[in-house]
Amino acid sequence: MDYIALPKFELHAHLTGSISRKTLHEVWLRKKQSSETDLEDPLLVMPEGKHDYNLETFFPLFSTYIYGLLTDEESVRYTTTSVLSDFLRDGVCYLELRTTPRATPTLTADAYVTILLSAIAAFEADNPQLHTRLILSVDRRHTPETAAATLALALANRRRGVVGLDLCGDPTAKPRGEVAVFTPVFLEAKRKGLRVTVHFAEAEASGSREELDVLLAWQPDRLGHVIWEDEAAKQEIARRGLCLELCLSCNVRAGMVHGGFEGHHFGEWKDVQGPKISLGTDDVGVFGSPLSNEYRLVAEHFNLDREAICGLARQAIDAIFGDEEEKQRLRCIMWT
Ligand code: IMP
Ligand code: ZN
């Protein structure tokens, strides 16, 4: 089966983590030549072929390196366009990209989001086969004030393509249900009609009963990862028929699950009535497995034939944060 030709929808991809090393290197080279950076070559910091980052080594890649490289409009625009090209080349026809609004020495968080939306619109004008929507992320390390500012940015940019709010970031931050500090922001997001997805029970530290209760009370529309949830949460997820964003290579390569691909909880959830599954790459720039490869992996490790793979790809349509017209476009693509 040609997994690149299979039309695919990507609902769990972090923008900065999706930038290829080659693209980071190009930005670095340009900046180095004009003496705009003292940073090391990204190909030395993140050598090609190295994909075994764990939770301790993964998050600092952003805070101590990539964010320091991508500080200006040109590099943000260039890398965003490059990420969109990579997804398009992999056969993705609908993409929900998520990103944490961030200020740099030369950009406000507001300007950062505006640049992304303009890069997305320009790309779509030339490549109408790929439609991209933006989800803004609240990082667990943020303060409630920053989370409220992210919500305000999301609401202000709804008509330009922001469709939802996400909770992401290092799962060891705010353990024991302390993410409850964000409850007013996420409830307000839902009240105002934004859609919500959260990184759910991604690590043991973020799988406490207190946290699962807090997150489920936000009435999220989708859940990312779902690795460490308890039996009560499993039943509630099934009862609500939530969409699960499962990222196999990320989980296996980062050692977040045991037993390799065969041991991944995709195998458990695929037969549960109610929930829908959407395969995602999470951070293809770091873990190196494009969405087409994720479909190949589940086909191989879980013995799914062509019909089952097409059925899996279709499952996510009703769970996208795009509107009815977009869902109809995707149904037409999948059933023709
Ligand atoms: P950005 O939001 O576009 O800057 O993408 C990078 C950010 O996404 C990181 O700083 C993390 O906070 C977040 N992120 C990426 N992958 C994961 C993940 O697997 N779990 C939680 N957060 C993640
Ligand atoms: Zn993620």
Q: Which of 24, 56, 61, 62 to mutate to test the pocket of ligand 1 (most atoms within 8 A of CB)?
A: 62
Residue nearest to atom 11 of ligand 1 (CA): 169
Mean pLDDT over 103-107 rounds to 97
CA 189 to ligand 2 center in whole angstroms: 19
pLDDT reported for residue 154: 98
Closest C-alpha to 10, from 160, 133, 150, 139: 133
CA 19 to ligand 1 center in whole angstroms: 12
pLDDT reported for residue 124: 98
Residues in contact with ligand 1 (CB, 6 Å cut-off): 14-17, 62, 99-100, 137, 139, 168-169, 199, 202, 250, 282-283
Q: How far apart are CA 57 and CA 256, in angstroms?
A: 13
| pLDDT above 90 (res 336) | no
CA 301 to ligand 2 center in whole angstroms: 22
pLDDT reported for residue 290: 98
Residue nearest to atom 15 of ligand 1 (CA): 14
pLDDT reported for residue 56: 92
Q: How many residues does the chain have?
A: 336
Q: How far apart are CA 219 and CA 26, in angstroms?
A: 41
Of the pLDDT bands very low, low, confident and very high (cuts 50, 70, 90), residue 335 is: confident
pLDDT in tens, 70-84: 999 999 999 999 999
Among residues 202, 229, 245, 294, the one annotated as catalytic is: 202
Task: Report residue 335: phi and psi, to 5°.
Answer: -105, 15
Residue nearest to atom 6 of ligand 1 (CA): 16
Ligand 1 atom nearest to 250, measured from its CA: 19
CA 11 to ligand 2 center in whole angstroms: 10
Q: Which of 66, 95, 137 to mutate to test the pocket of ligand 1 (most atoms within 8 A of CB)?
A: 137
Q: How far apart are CA 184 and CA 217, in angstroms?
A: 11
Task: Please name which ligand lies nearest the alpha carbon of 17.
Answer: 1
Helix (H/G/I), strand (E/B), else coil: 10: strand
pLDDT in tens, 276-285: 999 999 999 9
Q: 331 with 316: CB under 8 angstroms?
A: no
Among left, alpha and beta (phi > 0; psi -120 to 50; other), residue 8 is: beta
pLDDT in tens, 245-294: 999 999 999 999 999 999 999 999 999 999 999 999 999 999 999 999 99
Q: Which of 23, 65, 83, 100 to mutate to test the pocket of ligand 1 (most atoms within 8 A of CB)?
A: 100
pLDDT reported for residue 27: 98
pLDDT reported for residue 137: 99
Mean pLDDT (the chain) is 97
Q: Kindly write down the DSSP assignment for every residue of 1-48, as one continuous string.
A: --TTTS-EEEEEEETGGGS-HHHHHHHHHHHHHTT---PPPHHHHS-T
CA 112 to ligand 2 center in whole angstroms: 20
Name the pairing type of β-strands 131-139 and 92-99: parallel
Residue nearest to atom 13 of ligand 1 (CA): 169
Q: HSE on the CB side for 50, CA within 13 Å?
A: 13
Mean pLDDT over 197-222 rounds to 97
Mean pLDDT over 83-92 rounds to 98
- Asked about 202 being catalytic, the answer comes back as yes
Q: How far apart are CA 178 and CA 170, in angstroms?
A: 13
pLDDT in tens, 17-53: 999 999 999 999 999 999 999 999 999 999 999 999 9
pLDDT reported for residue 68: 98
Rounded percentage of the chain residues whose pLDDT exceeds 70: 100
Residue nearest to atom 12 of ligand 1 (CA): 169
Amino acid code (one letter) for 135 = I
CA 167 to ligand 2 center in whole angstroms: 9
pTM, 2 dp: 0.98
Residue nearest to atom 8 of ligand 1 (CA): 14
Paired with 162 in beta bridges are 134
Kindly tell me the sign of the dihedral angle through the C-alpha atoms of 200, 131, 331, 191. Answer: positive
Mean pLDDT over 3-25 rounds to 98
Ligand 1 atom nearest to 254, measured from its CA: 19
